[in-house]
């Protein structure tokens, strides 16, 4: 199953990142091409892969997680959030594999890793 997937866990509340807007871009030198965008479901996951097939190729990608609005609606975060858009740039070296890029996030911190 060659594809790119993601999910978000709100470690501040211990719940999935429901309703967060996520955008995927392909980076080619200085060109940034938007491939897709989605809102995460009740489980904090996209309903379908972010990339697969012909658009899932070797190269550099960027995921943009729009968490500022999420935390404005779910916590006592300031109207000027400490974290607004979390941007993760990563590389796909073997598009014949499944890449999963999760985000663990709070209003003040985040981490990611290559999942399975």
* 66: CATH: 2.60.40.180
In this prediction, residue 79 carries a pLDDT of 74
Sign, Cα dihedral of 8, 13, 18, 24: negative
Tens-digit pLDDT profile for residues 56-103: 999 999 999 999 989 988 876 667 788 999 999 999 999 999 999 999
pLDDT of 36-52, one tens digit each? 999 999 999 999 999 99
Range of the domain at 11: 3-112
| Higher per-residue pLDDT: 116 or 14 | 14
pLDDT for 2 equals 83
Q: Which residues fall within 8 angstroms of residue 5, CB to CB, at 6 or more apart?
A: 45, 46, 49, 50, 98, 99, 100, 101
Q: Is the torsion defined by CA of 73, 77, 78, 80 positive or negative?
A: negative
Q: Indicate the number of domains in the chain.
A: 1
Does residue 1 register a pLDDT over 70?
no
Residue 3 has pLDDT above 70, yes or no: yes
64 within 8 A of 91, measured Cβ to Cβ: no
Task: Report pLDDT for 13.
Answer: 93
Q: What is the pLDDT of residue 116?
A: 83
pLDDT score at 77: 63
Handedness of CA 112, 23, 116, 105 (dihedral sign): positive
């Amino acid at each position: 199953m060659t594809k790119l997937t993601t999910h978000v866990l709100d470690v501040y509340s211990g719940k999935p990142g429901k309703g967060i807007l996520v955008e995927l871009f392909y980076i080619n030198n200085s060109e940034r091409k938007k491939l897709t965008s989605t809102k995460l479901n009740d489980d904090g996951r996209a309903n379908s892969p972010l990339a697969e097939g012909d658009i899932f190729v070797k190269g550099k990608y960027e995921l943009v997680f729009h968490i500022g609005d999420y935390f404005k609606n779910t916590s006592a975060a300031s109207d000027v959030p400490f974290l607004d858009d979390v941007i993760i740039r990563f590389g796909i070296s073997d598009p014949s594999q499944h890449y999963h890029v999760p985000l663990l996030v709070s209003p003040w911190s985040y981490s990611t890793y290559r999942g399975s």
